[in-house]
Amino acid sequence: MSRIVLRGAGCALLCGCMPVVDAAGFIDDSTLKLQLRNVYFNENFRDEQGMSSRAAANAKSERVEWAQGFLLDYQSGYTPGVLGFGIDASGLVGVRLDSGPGRSGTGLLPVHDDGHAAEEFASAGVTAKARLGKTVVKHGTLLPKTPVLVYNDARLLPQTYQGSQLVSNDLDNLTLTFGHLDRFKQRDSSNSTGLFVDGYSGRESGDFSYGGADYAVSKQLRLSYFHGELSDFYRQDFAGIQHDLPLAGGTLASDLRYFRSRDEGAAQAGRIDNHMLSGQLTYSHSGHAFGTGYQVLRGDAGLPYISGATVYSFSNVGIGKFIEEDEKTWMASYAYNFAAAGVPGLTFMTRYLSGDNHRSGEDGLREWERDAELAYVVQSGPFKGLGAKLRNYVYRSDFARGRDSNRLYLTYDIVLW
């Protein structure tokens, strides 16, 4: 799907939906939700690996902030007829509860040049949409979630993008997705900018185009392929296979993912030419889930991705991403759903990852991370839907500062209609 077609469809939506906003279905099927999100973030640095003595002397020893977020989400229904129109809207507000110039930079709030976090920040988005059969075209504010681009929602407010997207489910068991994006806002910013690769410090930006398919061969087997391209930075292909096997009263889930990345056009981020293959096995039984996985990246540069986005990788965890040049990573995890023990809503997870890019005859760089998460969601009563999640992350590396991080998330969803 070319950018011209996607943009044209989006413009048609903007023009077409306005005169019929009072039509039945548009209002009757609409929803309005408010999520309250309270986040406390405490992170202590344990060393100054990879830093000059001057930088280490000026470096922060901790980052500690507390903030309140308000996420308002409106989704209309569609107007009657073969071709239905609708509109979605969102409002995002973040409010500082506690911070300081020596403790800012957690990603919860914007940081001014003097090191102080903003007292508040906000943004709004509008998305026009049209539906024909089981195909939906959207133009405006988007939250893309594909293997080649996953929006980041790991802090106070989500990362948002501007552009057009088409998703079609008209063919049985097949989902087609195409999109074109030209602007985005980081999770701790109200400012919209052009897109660029993570880690890039220049002034250039590009548009991101993507497309792909998810196909359910059966209830147990799913295949996917996607292509993404950030103009003048990189292009990337993804292929994935997921399979569920009933085994000894439980389920053995296997997930295999492959990325092929190369630089594109002006190659603003430098030479990129690599492969990344990762696989994970998870056995689930009676509330328990045991997982193990391995990942290897070979070639020039690390795995490229849009700045601030979440990487579609088993190794994109609490702090580290484990996608450096020639890095090999193994991982192990355990999770338990206490619903199996009669306590629905309570879950626990822990995992460990160890990565290195050691080559024969050379000293490689190493990193490891240990994570634990405990979460509970109230299941009934006046506070039904109130959620609490406590996260503890420990990260050590030869090329980045070690960190001990504790984070507390409190969320409450209010359905207004």
| Least confident span in 22-36, 46-60, 199-213 | 46-60
DSSP-assigned beta bridge partners for residue 150? 145, 310
Residue 20 pLDDT more than 60? no
Which percentage of the chain shows pLDDT scores above 90?
Answer: 86
Distance between CA atoms of residues 179 and 139, nearest Å: 10
Mean predicted confidence (pLDDT) in 74-91: 96
Which percentage of the chain shows pLDDT scores above 70?
Answer: 90
Query: pLDDT band for position 24 (50/70/90)?
Result: low
Q: Are 180 and 11 in contact (CB under 8 A)?
A: no
How far, CA to CA in Å, does 329 sit from each of 35, 323, 379? Answer: 36, 9, 38
Residue of higher predicted confidence among 405 and 52: 405
Query: pLDDT band for position 299 (50/70/90)?
Result: very high
- The predicted structure's pLDDT at residue 323: 97
- The predicted structure's pLDDT at residue 28: 87
Among 181, 185, 273, which Cα is nearest to 230's?
181
Residue in the structure block whose two tokens are 């998870």:
282
Distance between CA atoms of residues 310 and 27, nearest Å: 34
Kindly report the number of other CB atoms within 10 A of residue 242's CB atom.
17
DSSP label at 339?
Answer: G
Q: Cβ contacts of residue 360 below 8 Å, gap of 6+? A: none
Using a 10 angstrom Cβ sphere, with 0-12 exposed, 13-18 middle and 19 or more buried, the burial of residue 233 is buried
Residue 35 pLDDT more than 50? yes
* Domain architecture of the chain: domains with CATH: 3-415 (2.40.160.10)
Mean predicted confidence (pLDDT) in 270-280: 98
Distance between CA atoms of residues 290 and 282, nearest Å: 5
Q: HEC string of 282-298?
A: EEEECCEEEEEEEEEEE
- The predicted structure's pLDDT at residue 60: 83
Which three-class secondary structure state does DSSP give residue 391? strand
Q: Could you tell me where the beta strands, DSSP code E, fall in 248-363? A: 250-263, 273-285, 288-300, 328-337, 346-356
Residue 342 pLDDT more than 90? yes
Distance between CA atoms of residues 211 and 146, nearest Å: 9
Residue 10 pLDDT more than 50? no
- The predicted structure's pLDDT at residue 6: 46
Q: Are 323 and 339 in contact (CB under 8 A)?
A: no
**For the segment 225-265, what is each residue's pLDDT rounded down to a tens digit?**
999 999 999 999 999 999 999 999 999 999 999 999 999 99
pTM, rounded to two decimals = 0.90
- The predicted structure's pLDDT at residue 49: 54
**For the segment 146-204, what is each residue's pLDDT rounded down to a tens digit?**
999 999 999 999 999 999 999 999 999 999 999 999 999 999 999 999 999 999 999 99
Among 365, 369, 371, which Cα is nearest to 335's?
371
Residue of higher predicted confidence among 10 and 316: 316
Residue 398 pLDDT more than 80? yes
**For the segment 301-311, what is each residue's pLDDT rounded down to a tens digit?**
999 999 999 99
Number of H-type helices and E-type strands within the chain: 2, 20
- The predicted structure's pLDDT at residue 46: 87
Query: pLDDT band for position 9 (50/70/90)?
Result: very low
- The predicted structure's pLDDT at residue 378: 97
| Least confident span in 15-19, 48-52, 325-329 | 15-19
**For the segment 103-154, what is each residue's pLDDT rounded down to a tens digit?**
999 999 999 999 999 999 999 999 999 999 999 999 999 999 999 999 999 9
Long-range Cβ contact pairs of 210-213 (< 8 A, separation 24 or more): 210/144, 210/146, 210/148, 210/149, 210/177, 210/178, 210/179, 210/180, 211/1, 211/176, 211/177, 211/178, 211/179, 212/146, 212/147, 212/148, 212/176, 212/177, 212/238, 213/174, 213/175, 213/176, 213/177
Residue 361 pLDDT more than 60? no
Distance between CA atoms of residues 11 and 84, nearest Å: 15
- The predicted structure's pLDDT at residue 50: 52
